[in-house]
Amino acid sequence: MKSSKNLRIKPEFTTKAKKVYQAAISVENLDDKHGKGLSEEENNIRRFILSQSPILGRIPSMEEIKERFVKLTNEKIQVILKKLDELDAIHLDNNKTIITAAYPFAGYQTAHLIKFKKDKYNNLYSMCAVDALGIGFMLDCDYSINSVCLHCNDEIKIKVKNNEIVYLQPENIVIWFDMEYSCCAATSICKNINFFSSTSHFTEWQQDKSKRKGALLQIQGAFYLGKLFFEKRLKY
């Protein structure tokens, strides 16, 4: 077994990662999600949700958003949240009262637990494997991902330091990136973007399932996608 002492995996724009990225930008507007086309008020709320989530260890509630933006009417806030939901920057529940996803963060327990190496941050869950790999680029902090192989449920552990993977267990982790989009990522592809402990575990898992559109990525490529999708989310 390779010594993992000096492990340093950087993100890599592999051919498969490029294919996934092209498919993603053909159905999603990343600029909107990054806040580029938004009004100042819309973007302030978007940024508040993303920056508060790791501090709270959960996505802020409607009440907390209202308290922070007292100058805005409840109706105005509701309109803004619905717009962010339509852009798929966040995802609201059916009653439009709870933020169930603020990508990369999940408002509920998922398979991917994020543990931060920063005092003021608290653990929370990410929406999918690629979201988990993008968090460090968005927040610029060290953290670890505790997840499981979707096939055998074996533990998967990844540590990220200075935006490089410095620990990877097991070593041959692969990531299935689902590309069967429907209305929004939260209800379609997110739950289908997962870690597998090896290519053979992915193959075994896939055997009795109908063939889906997507790509099987090595960790470097998935890491690069995480970077592309999240490094600019708090820049604007």
| 90 vs 150 by CB, closer to Zn ion | 150
Here the tokens at position 20 are 């996934």
Question: Could you say whether residue 147 binds Zn ion (CB under 5 A)?
Answer: no
102 vs 148 by CB, closer to Zn ion: 148
Q: Which is nearer to Zn ion, 93 or 155 (CB)?
A: 155
Decide: is 201 part of the binding site for Zn ion (CB under 5 A).
yes
C-beta closer to Zn ion: residue 201 or 227: 201
25-33, 180-188, 199-207, 210-218 -> range binding Zn ion (CB under 5 A): 199-207
**Among 164, 128, 177, which residue's Cα sits nearest to residue 17?**
177
Nearer to Zn ion among residue 142 and residue 154 (C-beta): 154
* Residues binding Zn ion: number (CB under 5 A): 6
- Residue 213 and residue 199 in contact, taking contact as beta carbons nearer than 8 Å: no
Query: What's the distance, CA 197 to chain centroid?
Result: 19
Q: Which of 32, 126, 197, 214 binds Zn ion (CB under 5 A)?
A: 197
CA–chain centroid gap for 185, Å, is 10
Q: Which stretch binds Zn ion (CB under 5 A): 42-50, 99-107, 159-167, 191-199?
A: 191-199
Closest CB to Zn ion among residues 12, 154? 154
Contact (CB, 8 A) for 80 and 68? no
The CA R_g of the chain, rounded to the nearest whole Å, is: 18
Could you give the string, one character per residue 148-167, with x where binding to Zn ion holds by CB under 5 A and - elsewhere? -x-xx-x-------------
CA distances from 101 to 31, 158, 170, 182, 223 (A): 18, 22, 28, 16, 20
How far apart are CB 154 and Zn ion at their closest, in Å? 5
Within 8 A by CB and 6+ apart from 133, the residues are 145, 158, 160, 175, 222, 223, 225, 226, 227
CB within 8 A of 28, min separation 6: which ones?
A: 88, 185
Q: What is the nearest approach in angstroms of Zn ion to the Cβ of residue 209?
A: 15
Measured from the CB of residue 196, what is the shortest distance to Zn ion in angstroms? Answer: 6
**Taking the complex as a whole, how short is the minimal distance between the CB of residue 35 and Zn ion, in angstroms?**
37
Cβ closer to Zn ion: 27 or 152?
152
The sign of the CA dihedral 106, 189, 229, 129 is positive
Binding range to Zn ion, per CB under 5 A, among 7-15, 50-58, 76-84, 143-151: 143-151
* Residues near Zn ion (CB under 5 A): 149, 151-152, 154, 197, 201
